[in-house]
Amino acid sequence: MTKHGFTLFLFLSAVAIATFRDEQEFCENESCNEREFDKSHFYSDVKHCGEIPLALSHKLLDALPLDDGNVIRTVKRSVFSESQPSPLKEPLTLAAVSQDVLRNILDLNESVIQNEEFVRCVSGGKLFPGSVPLAHRYGGHQFGYWAGQLGDGRAHLLGEYTNRKGERWEVQLKGSGKTPYSRSGDGRAVIRSSVREFLCSEAMHFLGVPTSRALSLVVSEEPVWRDPFYNGSVIKERGAVVLRLAKSWFRIGSLEILTRTGELDVLRTLLDFVIKEHFKSIATNDPDKYVVFFSRVLNETAHLIAHWMSVGFAHGVCNTDNFSLLSITFHYGPFGFMESYDPNFVPNTSDDEGRYSIGAQANVGLFNLQKLLEALKPLLTSDQLSQSQQILREYPQIYHQRFHELFKAKLGFLGNEEKDSYVIAFLLKLMEDTGADFTMTFRQLSEVTLSRLQKGSFAPSLWALSDLSSHKHFRDWVQLYLQRLSR
């Protein structure tokens, strides 16, 4: 293992809090949206978790239009579809549990993981009381092009849990079987992608980055066939399910699909619901509430991407269907953490053109926000559209301001000075030219003595700074840095 690879291994291992152990029918008219939801006909044969004290609820059922056909197809005039999870084949192994999520989000005692029922409850074999499994309908722009209907092809939203702190979390299974949005997929997830999702969502949380969370990882002997290198070589892997949580799973694509299909009444219903439930500082009777909503999402999206950059995180698939309306990180697919500093770092092997390279993420965020504004446009007056377009033009400034705040903190700068941006850019250029390790350069700058930094002579343990010091302008930067620290 290279020293850079070892850095990443230590990084993930240290921050992830885990315990490791070995009838086609759909609505064609508006009357379907107003029906009383009856889950008994569809879930009468589903077993419920009677021994795990976790009861869920579902505000979505009464507020948003639902589709009740569990057949793969194009869905109309609905935000969610009923869809029952398909249990993994036993025997099942509980491979990992986040103790932090268990205790501090779901209010559960650690002893519940010893209960044989727990592994079935967190893998879709049984349902928590109050669960009504739903798959979300959304669309999205993928690699810059409209992809049409996408949706939760292998995920089931079970319900919402309100914990003793008053926090509301939506509970979802990933890898839990086919839904109406599975297209040609099998609805399953394999171990390698599930491990990455579990580890990285927990790691990002403990790095202070807004993110979805993961409670558990369950592994099965069920065979799942995949082509991991996209070269035509299909191999047999093992299926797995992650139980994950977020304040909301709505994304830009949730709104896009409704505008694209002309379902403007459903668009307004969904948007009003999102604002009421998740943007409580926006008055529901404010005539400009959609403009305020857009401004809030834009600000928080800019801040989120700046935060990604500050920890060297490349999302890998920044499609609009993967950009949260609440500006949290989710959909941990082909992500990566940059080791040697390289703005062109691309973790996704299928991204041949580098559209989603780490250095392009801020621009992709702007593109996605443009698509969000296009989705909102039918609900805006001409004046509101002009206001929103002006807000969109402010995105670069908002992003760069937050970027510099985070990097100044990484360098230990207090207050603001005119040349701070130059000192940051100078350092990043040195790192790019020398291939210095991104994370360890900042870490070792926080550990090295000023006298040793001035001399430019570093012990083997300070290997990242040693790499950086090979640059001919290293001493010039050190002088600027030390002068700034002295002030």
Could you tell me whether strands 235-246 and 213-226 are parallel, antiparallel, or unpaired per DSSP bridges?
antiparallel
Instruction: Decide if 123 contacts 87 (C-beta within 8 A).
Output: yes
Instruction: Decide if 242 contacts 197 (C-beta within 8 A).
Output: yes
Instruction: Decide if 217 contacts 195 (C-beta within 8 A).
Output: yes
If 0-12 CB within 10 Å is exposed, 13-18 middle and 19+ buried, where does residue 397 land?
A: exposed
Instruction: Decide if 81 contacts 65 (C-beta within 8 A).
Output: no
Instruction: Decide if 398 contacts 302 (C-beta within 8 A).
Output: yes
Instruction: Decide if 4 contacts 339 (C-beta within 8 A).
Output: yes
In sequence order, the 6+-apart residues with CB closer than 8 A to the CB of 394 are 298
DSSP 437: B
- How far is the C-alpha of 375 from the C-alpha of 377, rounded, in Å? 6
- How far is the C-alpha of 55 from the C-alpha of 162, rounded, in Å? 9
List the beta strands (DSSP E) in 29-73.
66-67
Side-chain half-sphere exposure of 239, counting CA atoms within 13 A: 24
Instruction: Decide if 125 contacts 87 (C-beta within 8 A).
Output: yes
Active site residues: 321
Tokens representing 30 are 């508006």
Whether the bond between 91 and the residue before it is cis, its omega within 30 degrees of 0, is: yes
Name the H helices within 16-130. 40-43, 60-63, 99-100, 116-121
Could you tell me whether strands 80-82 and 66-67 are parallel, antiparallel, or unpaired per DSSP bridges?
parallel
- Phi, psi (degrees; rounded to nearest 5) at 180: -60, -10
Name the β-bridge partners of 235.
Answer: 226
Instruction: Decide if 85 contacts 173 (C-beta within 8 A).
Output: yes
Instruction: Decide if 169 contacts 247 (C-beta within 8 A).
Output: yes
Residues shown for the chain: 487
In sequence order, the 6+-apart residues with CB closer than 8 A to the CB of 217 are 94, 95, 96, 97, 194, 195, 198, 240, 241, 242
